[in-house]
Amino acid sequence: MCNDKKAIFKNDENQNIGEILEQKDPRSIYVLLHAFYTYYTTLMCLDNCLNNKLFNEKQQMEATGRIGFYLGKCSRDIEILEELIIHFSGIENILTGAGINLYTLIKSKFIEVFEKWNPLIKHFDYSNQPYNFTFKSFAEINTK
């Protein structure tokens, strides 16, 4: 995500989230922010492909399924970052100005895509999904 971690993080980006928040989360703060970047790029690409009608019907279903899946993961991770912000008494005690700008950009894309796609994705069932999205499993319980 970035070669100069000090340009993004104010403190040790390798701190374990689970230890900080007393939760079962093995990730570091760096891995959490990297996940946000991954969600951002994935959501941006899928949304643009759907907007430009680049997919056939099956691919459209998979893309919208993936959007819902990643919005769910991103939403949970936003909640975790909000808990870290409370723990550290402000985002400015976790991230530099550049890091805050990056997170703000990512969160605004999340909100934009959520507002656009939620009317469709809120009806999807992700209960059979492993950690990574699997279209075959998704299609088994989500039919049009």
Confidence at residue 67, expressed as pLDDT on a 0 to 100 scale? 98
Q: What is the mean pLDDT of the chain?
A: 95
Hey, is 65 helix, strand or coil? helix
- Percent of the chain, pLDDT > 90? 94
Domain span including residue 46: 13-141
Question: Within 13 Å and on the Cβ side, how many CA atoms surround 23?
Answer: 15
Asked if residue 6 belongs to a domain, the reply is no
The answer to whether residue 5 is domain-embedded is no
pLDDT single digits (tens) 84-133: 999 999 999 999 999 999 999 999 999 999 999 999 999 999 999 999 99
Question: How many folded domains does the chain comprise?
Answer: 1
Q: Is the pLDDT of residue 1 over 70?
A: no
Q: Is 78 within the bounds of a domain?
A: yes
The predicted model gives 9-27 an average pLDDT of 95
Look at residue 3 and tell me if it is in a domain: no
Residue 98 lies in a domain: yes
Position 102 scores a pLDDT of: 93
Amino acid 26: pLDDT: 96
In a domain, 41, yes or no: yes
Three-class DSSP category at 9? strand
Is pLDDT above 70 for 144?
no
Is residue 19 included in any domain, yes or no? yes
